[in-house]
Structure formats: structure tokens, C-alpha cells
């Protein structure tokens, strides 16, 4: 179960990382950068940052 959990947990992280690398082109990809900081300053992986869905 640990192995299954780790695989299912790790693969999405890789996908999120690739998504951010692909989308890391400015404000559109990082709408929630800290106030006063340029967009994209915080290259954090956070699912849902650029999403408009609830599930």
C-alpha cells in the first residue's frame, strides 16, 4: 500500500511540476504571487492555482 500510495502521490507532483514549467510565463500562470512581487516570483507547486474547478 505504501508503494501504491507513493506512486500515485509522486506522479501527479511530476505533472504539476511540468505544468508549472510550461505555464511559467508570467502573471497568467501565477496570479497569486505575493503583493509587491513580480509574477512568478514564487515558483511553488500548488494544485488549483490556475484552476477554476471545485473537485
Partner 1 sequence: MSLLGKKEARFSATLLGLLFLLCTVFLHAQKFSGIIHDGVTRTRAFEAFALAGAAFVLAALVAKESASIQVLSSGNPILAVIGRHIFAFSMVIFGIQHFLYAPFIASLIPSWMPAHLFLAYATGTAFIAAGLSIATHILSRLASALLGVMFLLWFLLLHTPRVMAHPRNGDELTSAFVALAFSGASFLLAAYCSKSR
Instruction: Kindly state whether residue 36 participates in binding partner 1, applying the rule CB under 8 A.
Output: no
33 Cβ contact list (under 8 Å, min separation 6): 27, 39, 40, 41, 42
Kindly state the number of chain residues that form the binding site for partner 1, as judged by CB under 8 A: 34
- The label of the residue with cell 506512486 reads 7
Using rule CB under 8 A, residue 46 touches partner 1: yes
CB 29 within 8 A of CB 18: no
CB of 47 to partner 1, least distance (A): 5
Which residues of this protein are in contact with partner 1, per CB under 8 A? 1-2, 4-16, 19, 23, 32-35, 42, 44-55
Amino acid at each position: 500500500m505504501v508503494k501504491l500510495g507513493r506512486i500515485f502521490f509522486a506522479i501527479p507532483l511530476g505533472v504539476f511540476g511540468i505544468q508549472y514549467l510550461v505555464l511559467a510565463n508570467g502573471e497568467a500562470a501565477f496570479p497569486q504571487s505575493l503583493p509587491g512581487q513580480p509574477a512568478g516570483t514564487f515558483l511553488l507547486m500548488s494544485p488549483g492555482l490556475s484552476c477554476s474547478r471545485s473537485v
